Amino acid sequence: MNQPSFSELYERQISLKEIGEFGQHLLQNSSIVVVGCGGLGSMVAVKLAASGIGTIHLVDYDVVSISNLHRQVFYTLEDVGKSKVNCLKKYINKITPFVKIIEHQLMVSKNNINEVLQHAELIVDCTDDLYIKYLINDACVMSQKTLIYGSLHKFDGYIATFNHLLADGSRTANLRDAFPEIPEKLPPSCAEVGTLNTIVGIIALYQANEVLKLVLKKGSLFTDKLFIYNSLYNTFQTIQLQKKVTETKIKADFEQADYSSKSCESKLDIESLSVNEFLEKLKNDNVTVLSFGGKLPKNRHSDKVIRLPYLSFDPFNMPIKHTHEYIIVCERGTLSYDAGLALKEAHPTLKIYNLTNGLQALTNLF
């Protein structure tokens, strides 16, 4: 069909007297950063794009996996193994021509957080790592950014707007005013205890709704409070927050902390190989390469490579040579790492490696 006009696409929003053409152009001229493009982030990005937010920066390093699909509903089976930010950009481009999507294929860390946040004044935290959540919060406080926070645990969802600028020049409460320190014992992740499809969508919609109100300067916000919703029992809880932790204290904590998630350190023995280590391993006869990304460049070492679609990967039932070491590879090295953990769980005595940065790292070597 022909490309719609701006007024046609946003007609139902423009007809709201609280928005109108002026408000719609405010949305069009706004820019946000969405950190994390999983269950929360993919829904937030699509809803805000459909609402007319003009520029959306998508930040994520991950690829789509099978276990994502039950709640990350804008990805499909055809997207498995592909970059989340790229798949999400393609989806959004199909529903609106008026939104600019900028991809940032990276893992957020202390070294790059300021670079990530510089692109907008509104930051939407859709990550699932508590260390990274504190990193984003602390960086937003120091750089004077408003943070729209969302998190999940089983049937519970949490939403807040942190560090928002008030008329008197002060800022509202932030994550450390609710929980001053990162807990020594982290709660189990969603991967460990699970999460319900619908609570993911509910909290993502709350986050998107906060962004729209912030841009339009309409309605009331989840400021100086942490809102908790339980989808199993339809219960609501609001924890009131007061500014307690100073920016000076947060800056001092930032200097000391490395924000590295110990939960990401696998208890299983999965070693990462550099390109040179990988090439050295290939000299051994008792090495098998399990590839989800196709052949090695120029089809080298084809006798050692087992190629299979990730959808067909069954670590408990596939034939295994226990005298061999296994190197798992994919295009970027992320999907293969997850597969390596699954294979190690199925075969604890097996020696398993993951190729860092995947097949892309080998492109110019053969």
What does the block give as tokens for 143?
């750089």
What's the chain's average pLDDT?
89
pLDDT tens, position by position, 151-201: 998 889 999 999 999 999 999 999 999 999 887 655 555 544 467 889 999
Q: Where are the alpha helices (DSSP H) in 226-328?
A: 247-256, 275-281
Please state, in angstroms and rounded to a whole number, the distance separating the CA atoms of residues 14 and 11. Answer: 5
Any idea what the Cα angle at residue 205 is, between residues 204 and 207, rounded to 5°? 65
Beta-sheet pairing, 235-240 with 146-153: unpaired
Catalytic site residue from 37, 87, 126, 190: 190
pLDDT tens, position by position, 88-116: 999 999 999 999 999 999 989 999 999 99
**Residue 27: pLDDT above 60?**
yes
Max intra-chain CA distance, the chain: 72
Specify whether 190 is catalytic: yes
Residue reference for tokens 């097996």: 350
Cα of 244 vs its chain's centroid, Å? 29
pLDDT tens, position by position, 205-261: 999 999 999 999 999 999 999 999 999 999 999 999 999 999 999 999 999 998 875
Which domains are present in the chain?
Answer: 6-262 (3.40.50.720), 270-362 (3.40.250.10)
Residue reference for tokens 């509903």: 73
The stretch 34-62 carries a mean pLDDT of 97
Please state, in angstroms and rounded to a whole number, the distance separating the CA atoms of residues 313 and 114. Answer: 38
